[in-house]
Structure 1
Amino acid sequence: MRVPRIEDLRPSRLPANALAAIVGAGSAVLLMLRLFVPRPVGVADNYDGARLMCHLGVDVRVPTGAPRLRDYVNVHYYHLAHYSCHQHVLGSIKLPDVPYRSSQLLLLYAGRVLTRVLGLASYLDLRAVGIVCCVLIGAAMGLLYRFVRLRHRYRLALCVAVVLVVADTVFIDYAISPFSEIASTIGLLYVAVGVVMLAGPGRRVQWAGLVLTGVAGVFFATAKTQNYPAVLPLAVVLLMPALPVPVARLRGVDRRLRHRLAGLATVAVLVVGAAVVSGNEDQKTAQLTGANFVTVTLLPTGSHPVQDLTELGGPVWLSEYAGAPPWCAPWKLQNSATYKEFAKSLSHKKILGFLLRHPGRVLPVMNNVAEYFYVPRATSTLCAPGPNNIQRMVTPRLANYTRIGHTPRGLLDKRWVPITDAVGLLRGGGLATLVALWLVPGIAVFATRRRRAMRSVGTVVALLVTVAVAQFVASAFADGIDTAKHLNLAVFATALAWVFAAVEVLVALITKRGAPSAGAVADSPATVAREEAVSGAVSEAEATG
């Protein structure tokens, strides 16, 4: 049967690389406009940013009587000669004394260089970091446009949709902040592009995809401690493609192993890098995190908090602070021998043992944490007076605007919030709704029954959903406070999975209607070859030189 001729629907005869460069540059410019016009937006500090910024020896200048850090975004950081990651305070507030290692430091150093190039007043201007982030995201969009195997209009639609997701306030605003959430966002974007390249035609493209996925995977996994569980699904993806290593000495090695040696080496580097960062937490911080989980997350899911504390070896008075961190209690109680002994005895193993003895508590914990997914704006965790003179936890949202003129304290950025509003509509849905959000994209891609879709987009969607689930579980059981901020990556991965699935389903529907000339890509070899030549995808001949 004669294959219908596929017409070139591109707006010009520009080479594919030129079109990709235009898409990348356009994406970067759009994100810069989103971030800086009509005025800069970001995410204010919650007193935790010093753990990251101290590596550069910088801090904000907060004069006496100035508003709280969470009320305004501070973009100016100044170098302090004797500033230490282990000895720093902000007025009377003693800040966390454990430095936070993260790949975000690379973005901060790049921002420091750009600050000097632009001649900005401070030692480090976070607006320069924001520009660096926009350029990196734009480059990822250019690569995605270049290598995803779709017609021009659908590649363009995919890139536009991804940019619109990134532009949501709960994602792009972190580009101007002392937090590492934006590093997770950038890393995951490049990982997705690398997976697309791994499924592409030609060994050269696949090798480039392996390298990109590996480098981006290390950057992504080391962005935040909570990203460590996502290493497992990423390792599986890296081991899937068979890439033969042309070394004569390896010819006697089993073929399946020989073809995955490069993937194994990449996975080894990924695991080591992630382990170095995730193992950065000291014993005192780990104990406090465990205590936060017990009082904030675990105790509210049971009807007998005193019995739970007795089983865990905790003091009875902690039951009065169920739903609040233990540091909301008076200092006298926190300094008591019983609490100190309880905190020292806490460990992941002990908490896991409790959950194994009480499996009915697992779903309520996840159900409660799921509600933070639907309200993804970053918050600060504080204590405020409650009933019976007992302090309760309050979580005011972190501001998104700098202090210019008469800007109100705590002003939030609401200019572009499609993802924030969409997940907000699901508030109250609990874990069941969240599971449905994760299942629908995968089912939709599988239902298209397109072999190439299952190999490329299907793999990307599966990876994104798995990353979202892994990060959700890590945030649910490893953290007790700032949960909405820690779930940022899970929200982003879920949104990306929906975008990739939606574009693939759209292409499949048009293919089914018998309109290949409108942009569909059939699965027959002849049609695929024609489409690659039209869209600018790299063919086997081009990839091998």
Structure 2
Amino acid sequence: MLAVMAGVGSAVLLMVRLFVPRPVGVADNYDGPRLMCHLGVDVRLPRGMPRLRDYVIVRYDHIQHFSCRQEYLGSIRLPDVPYRSSQLVLLYAGRAVTRVLGLPGYLDLRAVGLVCCVLIGAAVGLLFRFVQLRYRYRVVLCGAVLVVVADTVFIDYAVSPFSEIASIVGLLWVVVGVVMLTAPGRRVRLAGLAVVGVSGLFFATAKTQNFPGVAPLAVVVLATPLAMPTRRLGRRLGGVDRRLRYRLAGLLTVLVLGVGAVAVSGNEDRRTARMTGANFVTVTLLPTSAHPERDLAELGAPAWLADYAGAPPWCAPTALQNGAAYKQFTKKLSHKQIMRFFLNHPGRLLPVLDRVAGYFYVPRATATLCQQTPAGKRMMVTPLLANYTKIGHTPRGLLDRRWTPVTDAVESLRGSGLGTLVVLWAVPVGAVVGTRRRRGMRGVGAVVGVVVTVAVAQFVASAFADGIDTAKHLNLAVFATALGWVFAAVELVVVAFGRRKQQSGAGAGRSDTRRGAKAESEPVELGTAATEGPAA
């Protein structure tokens, strides 16, 4: 009953956060049509609004006989390939809720926000039910998780045409599955394996950059021995080695995760891959180089790209982009060639990662534009995406600043580079390991290990993924890092209060021994353990 109350209460609080006193979300940066085209919908722009990024658009209307093979969605030219993402599950669920609630249009993103709040609330409720802590610590843990999720850089994506919210929902359910997988009881562990499998697939297919997150999930699943779901199946596999038999279910889960992630994530066509590689070279690699012309020559790129270091190549004049030298460069450029470059210049890797770390400390979503300088050169600018719908005289680009604990904490570290980021990942891991508490290492420790590894893997993948909209791409890394700190902090609180009670119990025992009474280490906690839940 308490778990149900925690889940329902969390969902309601998130709904209030999203819709009261007025809806908030994340405006489109003209990338949303690559996902929304699957539903055959078009944006309904308010009058007098020249740019999508200025306001959040919640209403989408259906277009007859429209598909992602169309070249244009309204006035927006679509890229060559649409996104394939588990976010589509949330969008179709939002379409159903739009009809049930009678909201205007074919799809209302506010309905998608409601679906996300329910899913997140359910994850918090299950976390409260299965985490191996006393009830008071469960309240602290779930409350802290809710505080993180409610930050504007996370929950606002629930009302947006982007797939970041699918990553957040998927990772939360992965955490629940890991907690269940490490809990006592065969049935709970088998249920946890199912949750990890389904939510892990949902999480890994939300964005291409999430693909490396399958690795830590595979380690946790394969490290957990599980008995067969039925005795009959166990008897049929009696001739199989015991260690393999107890990990067969985990092996099948990992296989499904890997195949599903590869099938959905590997959808980048050649032209988009070339553009992505070129963006990385000019936006991320060249600004860290003391000799950009030398790097360009080694990569087979035209020398004029050095003039656009720190900006995407499409900031250059069309004539240069249509030149034979640039076309030949993008045709030969590949991830293998970039990897070979870093193998030949390993010292260049850390400066690149340090530059990308700067985006981690500015977690708000941005658009990528090219702006003319007084000298006539075009440079990249990244205006922030708005968080409010257009109502009355709402100013353009208005940001949601009502609840930003994670945003403020991260932005306070701006400019500190990769070293501070490594510390942010190492501290929660070290804190959990340093407690040396067997139960904590089995449950909370596994969660911290998974989320920190996901944060590192997603950071590295995003660093080399594109070069533009990097702050948006790193949203999951920020979220996973915050979750790691939450779980580690609660574990430290549990240990600190446990040791204090042990010391007070030992002092009382010595006093009773002097009076001839029998000493007891925890006279109060032993009596309350049965009514309060599993011991911390």
Q: Secondary structure at the match of 1:392?
A: strand
Q: How many residues align?
A: 516
In the alignment, the residues of structure 2 paired with residue 390 and residue 90 of structure 1 have an alpha-carbon distance, to the nearest angstrom, of 31
Deviates more, 1:383-392 or 1:280-289: 383-392
Contact 2:197-2:257 within 8 A present in 1 as well: yes
In the alignment, the residues of structure 2 paired with residue 319 and residue 156 of structure 1 have an alpha-carbon distance, to the nearest angstrom, of 55
Question: How far is 1:367 from its partner?
Answer: 0.4
**Which structure carries more relative contact order (alpha carbon 8 Å, separation 6+)?**
1
Q: Secondary structure at the match of 2:397?
A: coil
Write out per-residue CA displacement over residues 467-524 of structure 1, whole angstroms, 9 at most, x where no aligned residue. 0000000011122110000000000000000000000100100011126999xxxxx9
Question: How far is 1:261 from its partner?
Answer: 0.3
Question: How far is 1:84 from its partner?
Answer: 2.1
Q: Secondary structure at the match of 1:78?
A: strand
Question: How far is 1:95 from its partner?
Answer: 2.5
Structure 2 residue 237 is matched with structure 1 residue 254: no
TM-score (norm 1): 0.92
> What residue number does 1:317 align with?
304
In the alignment, the residues of structure 2 paired with residue 30 and residue 92 of structure 1 have an alpha-carbon distance, to the nearest angstrom, of 37
Contact 2:137-2:494 within 8 A present in 1 as well: yes
> What residue number does 2:342 align with?
355
In the alignment, the residues of structure 1 paired with residue 529 and residue 122 of structure 2 have an alpha-carbon distance, to the nearest angstrom, of 22
Structure 2 residue 37 is matched with structure 1 residue 54: yes
In the alignment, the residues of structure 2 paired with residue 465 and residue 59 of structure 1 have an alpha-carbon distance, to the nearest angstrom, of 38
Q: How does 1:356-505 map to 2 (within 5 A)?
A: 356-505=343-492
What stretches of structure 2 of length at least 5 have no aligned partner?
A: 506-520
| Match of residue 116, structure 1, among 90, 96, 99 | 99
| Match of residue 65, structure 2, among 82, 89, 105 | 82
Question: How far is 1:252 from its partner?
Answer: 1.4
What stretches of structure 1 of length at least 5 have no aligned partner?
A: 1-17, 519-523, 539-545
> What residue number does 1:151 align with?
134
AA matched with 1:535: E
In the alignment, the residues of structure 1 paired with residue 530 and residue 238 of structure 2 have an alpha-carbon distance, to the nearest angstrom, of 35
Structure 2 residue 204 is matched with structure 1 residue 221: yes
Question: How far is 1:386 from its partner?
Answer: 2.1
TM-score (norm 2): 0.93
Question: How far is 1:62 from its partner?
Answer: 3.3
Contact 1:87-1:97 within 8 A present in 2 as well: no
In structure 2, the CA distance between the partners of 1:159 and 1:200, relative to structure 1 (3 Å rule), is same
Contact 1:510-1:516 within 8 A present in 2 as well: no
In the alignment, the residues of structure 2 paired with residue 292 and residue 169 of structure 1 have an alpha-carbon distance, to the nearest angstrom, of 28
In the alignment, the residues of structure 2 paired with residue 300 and residue 168 of structure 1 have an alpha-carbon distance, to the nearest angstrom, of 32
Structure 2 residue 177 is matched with structure 1 residue 194: yes
Contact 2:133-2:533 within 8 A present in 1 as well: no
| Match of residue 154, structure 2, among 171, 182, 194 | 171
In the alignment, the residues of structure 2 paired with residue 232 and residue 532 of structure 1 have an alpha-carbon distance, to the nearest angstrom, of 37
Q: Which runs of 4+ in 1 moved over 6 A?
A: 526-532
In structure 2, the CA distance between the partners of 1:198 and 1:529, relative to structure 1 (3 Å rule), is farther
Write out per-residue CA displacement over residues 198-235 of structure 1, whole angstroms, 9 at most, x where no aligned residue. 11111011111111011110000000000001111111
Write out per-residue CA displacement over residues 301-358 of structure 1, whole angstroms, 9 at most, x where no aligned residue. 1011111100000011111000000010111111111111100111110000001111
> What residue number does 2:219 align with?
236
Q: Secondary structure at the match of 1:479?
A: coil
Write out per-residue CA displacement over residues 125-149 of structure 1, whole angstroms, 9 at most, x where no aligned residue. 0000000000000000100000001
Q: Secondary structure at the match of 1:292?
A: helix
Q: Secondary structure at the match of 2:375?
A: helix
AA matched with 1:489: L
Write out per-residue CA displacement over residues 340-379 of structure 1, whole angstroms, 9 at most, x where no aligned residue. 1100111110000001111111000000100100000000
In the alignment, the residues of structure 2 paired with residue 216 and residue 533 of structure 1 have an alpha-carbon distance, to the nearest angstrom, of 32
In the alignment, the residues of structure 2 paired with residue 432 and residue 505 of structure 1 have an alpha-carbon distance, to the nearest angstrom, of 24
Question: How far is 1:533 from its partner?
Answer: 3.5
Question: How far is 1:86 from its partner?
Answer: 2.2
In the alignment, the residues of structure 1 paired with residue 130 and residue 526 of structure 2 have an alpha-carbon distance, to the nearest angstrom, of 15
Contact 1:325-1:393 within 8 A present in 2 as well: yes
In the alignment, the residues of structure 2 paired with residue 516 and residue 191 of structure 1 have an alpha-carbon distance, to the nearest angstrom, of 37
Question: How far is 1:454 from its partner?
Answer: 0.7
| Match of residue 122, structure 2, among 125, 133, 139 | 139
> What residue number does 2:531 align with?
534
Structure 2 residue 252 is matched with structure 1 residue 265: yes
In the alignment, the residues of structure 1 paired with residue 75 and residue 121 of structure 2 have an alpha-carbon distance, to the nearest angstrom, of 42
> What residue number does 1:210 align with?
193
Q: Secondary structure at the match of 2:501?
A: coil
Write out per-residue CA displacement over residues 99-151 of structure 1, whole angstroms, 9 at most, x where no aligned residue. 10110100001100000000011100000000000000000010000000111
AA matched with 1:31: L
In the alignment, the residues of structure 2 paired with residue 70 and residue 76 of structure 1 have an alpha-carbon distance, to the nearest angstrom, of 15
> What residue number does 1:543 align with?
none
In the alignment, the residues of structure 2 paired with residue 479 and residue 433 of structure 1 have an alpha-carbon distance, to the nearest angstrom, of 23
Matched residues, percent identical?
71
> What residue number does 1:521 align with?
none
Question: How far is 1:392 from its partner?
Answer: 0.5
Contact 1:150-1:535 within 8 A present in 2 as well: no
Q: Secondary structure at the match of 1:492?
A: helix
Contact 2:43-2:74 within 8 A present in 1 as well: no
| Match of residue 4, structure 2, among 15, 21, 37 | 21
